Amino acid sequence: MSALLALRDVWVEYGDKVVLERINLEIEEGAFLSIIGPSGSGKSSLLRLVLGQAGPTRGAIMLDDAPLAAECGPDRGVVFQRYSVFEHLTVLENTLFGLECAQAPLIARLFGARRRRAVETAREMLEAVGLGDNCDLYPAQMSGGMQQRLAIAQALIKRPRILLLDEPFGALDPGIRADMHDLTTRLWREYALTIIMVTHDIREAFTLGTRVLTLDKTRVDPHAPDRYGSTIVYDIPLDAKQAEIEPGKGVQKGTKRDTGAPANDISHADRAPADRSDHGSHDGPHDTPHDTLRDNSITIDKIHNN
């Protein structure tokens, strides 16, 4: 089976600055891919590539075996950390927007029976994200969590091939965040979604994802910090079911990517995560020492420092 989305030897450079290098990635349909990495490791750049907001400097991106145009399109939905919903539209109008754009090219508004059908679809979607009773509110009247629910409903109504989440729960309270995790998992199962999520929260990455990707630099030239970009250093498949029964098992399947760089070239090896096999037995997704910390927004930098 060929992958839904494939990145082949992708590089992203801004002028002299190399952001991403040698990215090779295949994403199967139905996967929930979490991407983690220190700040500035190109997580968001990778997401922007898939979104089509920017094109790769080198390499190819294929969606359903067709080259992906460097343009945003309705086959890829997105939820950002903030500003994902339209301030001037009510909850219902926000959700209708995608349908109206598709069905009324000229005025982007629907009337009569077509509108009633669209409203029905939108209401179903809003029920699914738990906003069924809030159709007439404006975003400014809602909490951050409700706004993110709306942003998800708004994206899902287009039935995108891939849903991209850019630190979607980063600005939410811990309690709300847990609710949103349940919601995301439920929607992912019910709608058979393929999700790529960028996050700073390691626990979130492991609880939600079926596969966790870690981006970091493998080579650093101290005299030219921008000379080398980040690449995939870990690609950890998690079997969700197995992980639930036996925490820790999933991680052991993890493979350290052969990054192609000689080991002694890694001048910041002290910063790289210790090899998983060293303490894989107690460092599972649900059983990490960090779980004892109440702060559930541990950044990868903290793990590095261990």
Partner 1 sequence: MRGLNRDFGQRNNLLLGLIPIVALILLYLVLAGERNAVNPNDKILPLPGAMAEAMWALVFERDQLSGDYLFWSDTFASLRRLGLGLAISTLCALGVGLLLGVMPAIRATFGMLVTSIAVIPPIALLPILFIVFGLGETAKVALIVIGIAPFMVRDIAAHITALPREQIVKARTLGASTWQLLLRVALPQAMPRLIQALRLSLGPAWVFLISAEAIASDVGLGYRIFLVRRYLAMDVILPYVAWIALLAATIDVLLMLSSRRLFRWAHGSEH
**d(C-alpha 218, C-alpha 263), whole Å:** 9
Look at the chain and count its residues.
Answer: 306
If the CB atoms of residues 164 and 212 are measured against partner 1, the closer one turns out to be: 164
| Contact pick of 74, 132, 260, 289 for partner 1 (by CB under 8 A) | 74
CA distances from 286 to 195, 246, 290 (A): 21, 9, 10
How many of the chain's residues bind partner 1 (CB under 8 A)? 37
**d(C-alpha 109, C-alpha 245), whole Å:** 49
Is 274 a residue that touches partner 1 (CB under 8 A)?
Answer: no
Is the Cβ–Cβ distance between 42 and 19 less than 8 Å?
A: yes
Of the candidate spans 17-25, 70-78, 248-256, 267-275, the one that interacts with partner 1 by CB under 8 A turns out to be 70-78
Burial of 91 (0-12, 13-18, 19+ CB in 10 A): buried
If the CB atoms of residues 71 and 258 are measured against partner 1, the closer one turns out to be: 71
Q: Segment 112-171, which members bind partner 1 (CB under 8 A)?
A: 138-141, 151, 154-155, 158, 160
Is 54 a residue that touches partner 1 (CB under 8 A)?
Answer: no
**d(C-alpha 229, C-alpha 40), whole Å:** 10
If the CB atoms of residues 135 and 240 are measured against partner 1, the closer one turns out to be: 135
If the CB atoms of residues 140 and 192 are measured against partner 1, the closer one turns out to be: 140
Is 82 a residue that touches partner 1 (CB under 8 A)?
Answer: yes
If the CB atoms of residues 171 and 298 are measured against partner 1, the closer one turns out to be: 171
Closest CA to 77 of 186, 179, 168, 162: 162
Is 225 a residue that touches partner 1 (CB under 8 A)?
Answer: no
Write the single-letter amino acid at 128: A
**d(C-alpha 56, C-alpha 23), whole Å:** 10
Is 101 a residue that touches partner 1 (CB under 8 A)?
Answer: yes
Radius of gyration in angstroms for the set of CA atoms belonging to the chain, rounded to a whole number: 20
Interface ranges with partner 1 (CB under 8 A): 51, 53, 71-74, 76-78, 80, 82-89, 97-98, 100-102, 105-109, 138-141, 151, 154-155, 158, 160
